[in-house]
């Protein structure tokens, strides 16, 4: 019986015995091993598929949540620039339908006077064709500049608590220059882009101590920095619009508590963000005298005067 394997099969009708030689023994062992391996792999694939389905379901729920959040943020951060664009479009449509009646001329003049009011200009007592054309040029310039250069606050309704300039560092205790503003925002506060641009960097920046950091590259060499975030909601290379949600404030990096560190830079040089935060339609010209070292006149000459299909008449 050397090198033999006896296989017994028992049923209700009796038993049968089979003698397997050495080769048969090896083949039978291989068959059993393959059967066990197939059973194990099948169970593993089944469990992995189940886990993958659960993961896909969680991702779907997360994407649905992010989509809802994005829609909500767009509604919350509808800027005055959007309102001005709508007003210009309304005036243009009214011009197309304008007939020479006193009532319609008065309606047209009222809309243009509202445009003057939004831009902080003196209200014209009488609206002329020349004044309407001048208003179109002014509005086109301001829309162009305020879309592409940082302006307004990156967080809603939260004042800044630490200013631009030299101070004692809250962690190291050493006197050093603070290149931005600190907004005392609680963890999870939405943070918005302050101008159109491309995301130059999004991730954890250990060397600077900024923690989770987003850098947005804007027109004409301007950049904005959003540091110590809990989470960034945009990736490097993404194009963002003014008012778009880009992250949530936090306490990452070298920080003593939840806040948002915000910077505005021009050609890598940090600028005082305060005039940019306060910059808007109604005080448009202030930035040109408060921030020096920038060729504002050259930048203003670069705005397109043909943003509308036809002049306002």
Task: Give the closest residue to 218 by CA, choosing from 189, 187, 246.
Answer: 246
CA dist 261 to 79, 258, 273, Å?
22, 10, 11
d(CA 217, CA 161): 25
Sign, CA torsion 20/23/29/31: negative
First to last CA, the chain: 112
Residue 256: per-residue pLDDT: 86
Q: Render pLDDT for 257-285 as a digit per residue (tens, 0 to 9).
A: 899 999 999 998 999 999 999 999 889 99
Is the pLDDT assigned to residue 303 strictly greater than 70? no
| pLDDT confidence band for 69 (50 / 70 / 90) | low
For residue 243, the model assigns a pLDDT of: 94
Round to whole Å and give the CA distance between 179 and 35. Answer: 68
On the question of pLDDT at 36 being above 80, the answer is no
Judge whether residue 182 has pLDDT over 80.
Answer: yes
Express each pLDDT in 116-160 by its tens digit.
888 888 888 877 778 877 887 888 888 889 999 999 999 999 988
Nearest to 170 by CA among 229, 272, 255, 261: 255
DSSP character for 206?
Answer: T
Average pLDDT over residues 22-27: 59
Q: How many percent of the chain have pLDDT more than 70?
A: 64
pLDDT at 308 over 80: no
Surface-to-core class of residue 191, CB atoms within 10 Å of its CB (0-12 exposed, 13-18 middle, 19+ buried): buried
> Largest Cα–Cα distance in the chain?
120
Whole-number average pLDDT of the chain: 78
Tell me the angle at which helices 129-148 and 80-96 cross, rounded to the nearest 10 degrees. Answer: 150
The beta strand positions in 233-298, using DSSP E, are 239-240, 245-249, 260-266, 269-271
Q: Higher model confidence: residue 302 or residue 181?
A: 181
| pLDDT score for 309 | 45
- Backbone φ, ψ for residue 245 (5° rounding): -65, 125
The three-state DSSP-derived secondary structure of 100-148 is: CCHHHHHHHHHHHHHHHHHCCCCCCCCCCHHHHHHHHHHHHHHHHHHHH
Reply yes or no on whether the pLDDT at 24 is more than 80. no
Mean pLDDT of 179-201: 95
For residues 247 and 142, the answer to whether their CB atoms sit within 8 Å is no
CA–CA separation, 156 vs 77, rounded Å?
8
Give the pLDDT score at 269: 93
Q: Alpha-carbon distance 237 to 217, whole Å?
A: 10
Question: What is the mean pLDDT of the segment spanning 31-39?
Answer: 71
Comparing C-alpha atoms, which of 265, 136, 252, 253 is closest to residue 194?
265
What was the pLDDT predicted at 49? 61
Comparing C-alpha atoms, which of 96, 108, 277 is closest to residue 180?
277
Stronger pLDDT, 220 or 133, i.e. the higher one:
220
Question: What pTM was computed for the model?
Answer: 0.64
Q: Using CA atoms, how far apart are residues 197 and 222, in angstroms rounded to an integer?
A: 9
Give residue 238's pLDDT: 96
Residues contacting residue 298 through CB under 8 Å, at least 6 positions apart: none
Contact 232, 247 (CB under 8 A): yes
């Amino acid at each position: 019986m050397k090198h033999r394997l006896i296989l017994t099969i028992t049923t209700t009708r009796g038993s049968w015995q089979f003698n397997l030689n050495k080769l048969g023994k090896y083949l039978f062992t291989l068959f059993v091993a393959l059967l066990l391996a197939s059973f194990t792999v099948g169970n593993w694939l089944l469990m992995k598929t189940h886990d993958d389905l659960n993961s896909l379901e969680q991702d779907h729920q997360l994407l649905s949540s992010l989509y809802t959040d994005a829609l909500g943020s767009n509604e919350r951060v509808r800027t005055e620039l959007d309102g001005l664009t709508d007003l210009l479009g309304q005036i243009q449509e009214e011009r197309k339908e304008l007939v020479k009646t006193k009532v319609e001329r008065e309606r047209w003049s009222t809309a243009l006077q509202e445009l003057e009011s939004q831009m902080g200009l003196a209200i014209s007592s009488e609206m002329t064709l020349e004044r309407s054309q001048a208003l179109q040029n002014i509005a086109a310039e301001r829309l162009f500049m305020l879309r592409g250069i940082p302006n307004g606050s990156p967080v809603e309704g939260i004042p800044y608590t630490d200013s631009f300039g030299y101070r004692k560092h809250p962690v190291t205790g050493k006197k050093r220059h603070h290149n931005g503003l600190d907004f005392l925002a609680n963890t999870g506060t939405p943070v918005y882009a302050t101008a159109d641009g491309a995301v130059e960097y999004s991730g954890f920046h250990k060397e600077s101590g900024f923690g989770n950091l987003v850098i947005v590259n804007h027109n004409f060499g301007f950049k904005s920095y959003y540091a110590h975030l809990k989470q960034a909601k945009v990736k490097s290379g993404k194009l963002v619009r003014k008012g778009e949600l880009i992250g949530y404030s936090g306490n990452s990096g070298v920080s003593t508590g939840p806040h948002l560190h915000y910077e505005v830079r021009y050609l890598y040089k940090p600028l005082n963000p305060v005039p940019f935060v306060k910059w808007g339609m109604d005080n448009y010209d202030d930035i040109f005298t408060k921030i020096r070292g920038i060729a504002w006149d050259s930048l203003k000459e670069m705005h397109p005067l043909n943003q509308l299909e036809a002049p306002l008449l």
